[in-house]
Structure 1
């Protein structure tokens, strides 16, 4: 096709569209069965165009066209009797006019759905028309049911879902955890122009599928919300039997032993029968429906018990062989043993923690007693506690202002009693020494070396000799007083004098 041909075709389409716009109609009209529907038509602003006649044509299919209403200003109204809406169609205006030739159809049916053409006969342009589509809606009737099936390996229909007599056709979906298949929906056109849709769910049913959930969901244009049908599958199967109650520990003389026959089946089992493999039921056994009670276990219970259960599809059975023991099994002391082990471990942990605390505390106490194991700057080491400071100045004073530091390091104070009585006859003030640790305390620490032990032994011997001293004061050694006190005595700032060689305690 050449460019000129394309332009010519486009021009014709534009002309036809502009002419078609002269007839104004509603593109689509929706209605339900039994209602009255109005189909509107107008030819606004005809101008120089002369309107001569208007006709309504019903077009059910592309090949089926029927006149249903005609109006001519001179010849009046005509409703063909052969139309499918004869007797139910009328013009809205009475009498009608070419300006407003709208029609009404009463008691519409599903078969009335189709295309309705409003056509004007004009001069000089010829016939002009507008098309309205009547869409009939019908709310479907929805149902869903399960199908009772027997357990097997072949896929069968286990549930059906149907949406009947709807317009347009409904949509069906399934919701389930089952591992089945959905068949292709089956569509059926009904004589009244409605549509029915049917969908089925297929599955190879097993006993465990009985009672499983499955839902059918129907959606349709006429419903605001989809309609859901929850269901449960029905799968029939013969009884599945299991005997419970025997734990391989029945012993001779045991009482109140029992067996229970559990059966699961669909339909529900109706008959329960107890048997023995030997055919003889022991006298000490009582049977009540699915329960077999043994009043007292003896050697006759050494047999095989059988339970048979029946329903309409068949029967199932289970058996258990009882072996009677000579005596009751010993009680397990596993719990007691575990408890004892746990208690022992806890005691060990507590003792270990206590020992660690004692050792740590003892080491902290020994920090001030070791002489050789501490740094040189550590005060109050054991050597200093026993013999005082070894340092002395040139003027003859040491730690205490002189070079005769007391053996037992402590605080030297005036004896209140001596202060009241005056000076010692020898000119020496009697002093009373207080100390925090005795030799006995240090020996008890068990941390002194052998040299220190010997020194303390000598001190203890001297203490014993001084204990027998008959003098009235605590002086261990006194020099005779003479005029030259500088050889032995030393003046103090408080006016008293102290012997350089005497030991004060």
Structure 2
């Protein structure tokens, strides 16, 4: 029995929960100040329940609840005068109905934000309700500015960003390369239920920070994209001075020597003053604002020059001592440059020679690899200037092969003797015919003034041969 009772109680709770969901409302409604907003409510399926009355309740906080509109089918519509929305709220339909008791609020204000409860009185199940949240949005007014500061070592506020009268509160961030810190945003609730947010950026400003970029970025629900405010930091500082132009080579007689006083400050420097440590400016010196021109260097220039620059915050100064030389200083830069240039030229020359050698060798290698394009050299013939042997002596005598002096001469086809009567010149193909040992076939005879000579043609090209002469 106890188990059955628990099941019945659980079923009743489920039924009550499902019945509570039968009042249909919009979970959230968004509006802006000055607009009209409609809050809808319906009880579409009452079932066996009888709808008797509907009420709208405005709940600003958990403890503050106020009736703003009531409708009874018999007594009609009523709008309590104590309601903060009196005169600005009404039922959508006139006369209203229990089936559609939606209301409209005109000229909504930021203070109208809260929970709105549509509550039905039913019989026999009792009251049933649905809750809508009205969210008021207000687009904030955003601005950002830098603060003029003086250079120092103590962190100070250098930029401020503000998003005022927004709902909900805006989000502020900073973008910069400065080495500072942003403060925690401070939120202020306004009387009209809007919020103002302020954020600052702090830095120990230095002269080098002047003109640096810094940006404030504001994000809010009412804006499609964040709003960015780019700015440049303003840091004031006394002048910073430097004298340039002295090259440590001012010698007697030098002309057109200059010193320039370079300065930087914020505010911009107003005056530039030149003077010497001795108090007297040499006669050969001309002062042209921030430039000091020396017409001709002499011993009076051998002093210390001082440049002072002033602005509204103070002044800065720099000094330089000039040493006048007897003769110009020999510069080693030119000789060093010449040596370096000579080394570079030698390296380039070596590279050119090496490249040329490599190219020549490649050409020679290509020529060697190619087939010969000319006729190979002919064989050589050896002459003997010793006494010609007798024709009756045998050829086999070894002494006939002895020669006192020999001379080699290239043998060409023109050296082959032929008979004037025949006028026959051996061709290249004839020379290729193999030779025989038979003297009658291999020897050619030629008659001259000194006798008859026999010349054998049995020698091959490229080798030496000797033909014994026979004198008749």
TM-score, length basis structure 1: 0.72
Aligned length: 414
2:189 aligned with 1:189, yes or no? yes
- The alpha-carbon deviation at position 328 of structure 1 amounts to 2.6
1:129–1:255 Cα change, 3 Å: same
In the aligned structure 2, how far is the partner of 1:54 from the partner of 1:240? 80
Contact 1:489/1:499 (CA < 8 Å) preserved in 2? no
Distance in 2 (alpha carbons) for counterparts of 1:148 and 1:3: 80
| Alpha-carbon RMSD | 4.0
Q: Deviations over 1:346-367 (max 9, x none)?
A: 66777899999999999xxxxx
Aligned to 1:254: 254
SS in 2 for 1:413: helix
Q: Does the CA-based 8 Å contact 2:456-2:467 persist in structure 1? A: no
Does residue 145 of structure 2 align to residue 178 of structure 1?
A: no
Distance change >3 Å, CA 4–CA 178, structure 1 → 2: farther
Give yes or no for contact 1:430–1:474 (8 Å, CA) kept in 2.
Answer: no
1:323-370 C-alpha deviation (Å, 9 max, x unpaired): 1111233463444455555556666777899999999999xxxxxxxx
Counterpart position of 2:290: 290
Query: Aligned match of 1:501 in 464, 468, 472?
Result: 468
**Deviation, structure 1 residue 4:** 9.7
Cα offset, 1:17, TM superposition: 2.3
Tell me how far 1:22 sits from its aligned partner: 2.1
- In the TM superposition, what is the alpha-carbon distance from 1:385 to its structure 2 partner? 4.6
Choose 179-188 or 5-14, whichever is displaced more. Answer: 5-14
Which is richer in strand?
A: 2
Q: Distance in 2 between matches of 1:315 and 1:258?
A: 23
Judged with a 3 Å threshold, the aligned counterparts in structure 2 of structure 1 residues 230 and 415 are, in CA distance, closer, same or farther, namely same
| Aligned position for 2:271 | 271
Flag the 1:491–1:109 CA change in 2: closer, same or farther, 3 A: closer
Q: Could you tell me how far 1:13 is from its partner in structure 2?
A: 5.0
Q: Residues 302 and 96 (structure 1 numbering): CA distance in 2 closer, same or farther, change over 3 Å?
A: same
SS at structure 1 position matched to 2:14: helix
In structure 2, the CA distance between the partners of 1:499 and 1:87, relative to structure 1 (3 Å rule), is: closer
Q: Does 1:413 align with 2:414?
A: yes
Give the alignment of 1:30-429 within 5 angstroms.
Answer: 30-330=30-330, 332-339=334-341, 385=380, 387=382, 407-413=408-414, 419-420=419-420
Cα pair distance change 1:386/1:189, threshold 3 Å = farther
Post-superposition CA distance 1:388-429 (Å, at most 9, x none): 9xxxxxxx9xxxxxxx9994231243679x743789xxxxx9
The whole-number CA distance in structure 2 between the counterparts of 1:491 and 1:100 is: 145
Contact 2:381 2:411 in 1 (8 A): no
Between 297-306 and 332-341, the greater mean CA deviation after superposition: 332-341
What is the alpha-carbon distance in structure 2 between the residues aligned to residue 74 and residue 222 of structure 1? 44
Residues 358-387 of structure 1: CA deviation (Å, up to 9, x unaligned) = 99999xxxxxxxxxxxxxxxx989xx8575
The equivalent residue for 1:20 is 20
Partners of 1:307 and 1:65 in 2: how far apart? 79
* Structure 2 Cα separation of the partners of residues 49 and 357 of structure 1: 111
CA separation of 1:282 and 1:224: change in aligned 2, threshold 3 A: same
Which has the larger displacement, 326-335 or 263-272?
326-335
Deviations 1:119-167 (A, max 9, x none): 1111111111111111000000011111111112222111111111111
Deviation at 1:9, TM superposition (A): 8.0
- Inter-CA distance 352–301: structure 2 relative to 1 (3 Å threshold): same
**Cα distance in 2, alignment partners of residues 143 and 245 from structure 1:** 47
Q: Per the alignment, in what secondary structure is the counterpart of residue 19 of structure 2? A: helix
SS where residue 256 of structure 2 aligns?
A: strand
Cα shift readout 1:52-88 (whole Å, capped 9, x = no counterpart):
1111110000000001111111112211111100111
What's the secondary structure of 2:409's corresponding residue?
coil
CA distance in 1, matches of 2:343, 2:199: 69
TM-superposed CA distance for 1:97, in Å, is 1.2
Aligned counterpart, 2:436: none
1:262-290 Cα distance to aligned partner (Å, 9 max, x none): 11111111121111111111111111221
SS of equivalent residue, structure 1 residue 62: coil
Name which of structure 1's ranges 215-224 and 333-342 shifts more when overlaid on structure 2.
333-342
Q: Quick one: distance in 2 between partners of 1:352 and 1:50? A: 113
Local SS of the residue matching 2:420: helix
SS of alignment partner, residue 326 of structure 2: coil
